[in-house]
Amino acid sequence: MQDNILRLAFEASRITGEKIAVIDKIMTRTQILSMNARLESTRAGDAGRGFQVVAREMGVVAEEVNALSAQLQQEISDNTAQIETAGRQMIRDFKGQRFADIARNVVELIDRNLFERSCDVRWWATDSAVVNALEAISPDTHTYACERLATILRSYTVYLDLWIADRKGNVISTGRKERFPQAIGSNVSREEWFQKGMQTHSGEDFAVCDIGRNALLGDAQTATYSTAIRKDGSTHGEVLGVLGIFFDWEPQARDIVQGVALSGDERKGTRVMLVNSKCQVIATSDKPCLLNEKYNFTPTDKQGYYFDDDRMISYALTPGYETYRGLGWYGCIETNV
């Protein structure tokens, strides 16, 4: 729509200019005729004196029309320039607002996805096989818990692994012990996800850590969720240990930032990102994300856009989703203007 407005303005200016040029040519011919008429009336003497007056007036009218034509041309040129400036600003504002909305959609999509992860960890922590692995400690209960976790993973392919750790932080059961054999027997008591999980107040609470790499999972990028495993699976039961679930972050996040609805032209020179509260890029559409890049931008509101030289930066702060408040992440879009 905005492009059409500018095209119409330029077309109106072009047509008007062409018509004024035609008028100028006609007036030039009129002035020549007036000049010739005055010359002929002079030759005719007294008989041509009256016609000389008419010829003179024709010249005056031609000059007035030429002056009016020049004034009109200047005013139209000035107005067209103002329309162009306003139109271009309108296009920039429209694009900025649209990209800010897309940025919000990106961060909302990931938050809705991660809300489900917070539901998963609270649900699976009450599974009888998970609880029994810590209540009735034995090789058999640990093995059965591994089998149960493996069954869950066959349906929930977005996870790298699920771990059960006792109160001392020793991992006793996992869902993929063949793929990640070093996990069982490792001690995670110093890990943030374990410590936060132990501190959850009830079975309705969960802990979430920012995106990071896990050496025991092949150094993969994970979004880690945890909660306490409680006696009898009760909401306020005694804490027996922690369930940690490891969301396979990189491919899921990449699909979201690369899947935004942009035209072919818009996609050129445009970068879609997820940025955490520390300004660390945790997903980007233009290259593999290594979690080692800082993105310096200056948001002034929860959602908006601004221009930095030849770049437009659009952004939106996570609004959270239901009981998942989010981690202060932003959806960001950087594009050339």
Q: Please give the chain's pLDDT, 337 residues, in tens.
A: 555 665 666 676 677 767 667 666 766 666 666 666 666 666 666 655 556 666 566 666 667 666 766 777 777 677 667 777 766 777 788 889 999 999 999 999 999 999 999 999 999 999 999 999 999 999 999 999 999 999 999 999 999 999 999 999 999 999 999 999 999 999 999 999 999 999 999 999 999 999 999 999 999 999 999 999 999 999 999 999 999 999 999 999 999 999 998 988 888 899 999 999 999 999 999 999 999 999 999 999 999 999 998 999 999 999 988 888 889 999 999 999 8
**Same structural domain for residues 136 and 238?**
yes
Structure tokens at 288: 């593999």
In a domain, 107, yes or no: no
Write out the residue range of the structural domain in which residue 6 sits: 2-92
The total number of structural domains in the chain stands at 3
**Same structural domain for residues 146 and 56?**
no
Look at residues 214, 237, 235 and name the one whose alpha carbon lies nearest to residue 224. Answer: 214
In a domain, 119, yes or no: no
Name the amino acid, one letter, at 129. Answer: A
| Helix (H) and strand (E) counts in the chain | 7, 11
Domain closes at, from 204, 225, 252: 252
CB 85 within 8 A of CB 7: no
What count of Cα atoms within 13 Å lies in the side-chain half-sphere of residue 34? 17
Look at residues 197, 151, 193, 209 and name the one whose alpha carbon lies nearest to residue 176. Answer: 151
**Same structural domain for residues 240 and 292?**
no
Residue 24's pLDDT is what? 66
**Same structural domain for residues 147 and 264?**
no
Scanning the structure block, which residue is given the tokens 């981690």?
Answer: 327
24: CATH:
1.10.287.950
Long-range contacts of 311-314 (CB under 8 A, 24+ apart): 311/335, 311/336, 311/337, 312/92, 312/95, 312/96, 312/99, 312/336, 312/337, 314/96, 314/99, 314/100, 314/102, 314/103
**Same structural domain for residues 236 and 264?**
no
In a domain, 284, yes or no: yes
239: CATH:
3.30.450.20
Rg of the Cα atoms in the chain: 37
Domain closes at, from 44, 70, 92: 92
**Same structural domain for residues 178 and 286?**
no
In a domain, 12, yes or no: yes
Structure tokens at 229: 């495993």
In a domain, 18, yes or no: yes
Structure tokens at 321: 């989703």
In a domain, 131, yes or no: yes
In Å, what is the CA distance from 19 to each residue of 22, 26, 65, 205?
5, 11, 13, 75
**Same structural domain for residues 242 and 266?**
no
In a domain, 221, yes or no: yes
User: How many CB atoms are closer than 10 A to CB 301?
Assistant: 10
**Same structural domain for residues 290 and 247?**
no
**Same structural domain for residues 221 and 286?**
no
In a domain, 321, yes or no: yes
**Same structural domain for residues 154 and 212?**
yes
Structure tokens at 9: 């303005």
CB 172 within 8 A of CB 187: no
Rounded to two decimals, the pTM is 0.78
**Same structural domain for residues 271 and 231?**
no
Can you tell me the distance from the alpha carbon of 250 to that of 242, in angstroms, rounded to the nearest whole number?
24
CB 153 within 8 A of CB 184: no
Domain closes at, from 223, 252, 281: 252
**Same structural domain for residues 235 and 277?**
no
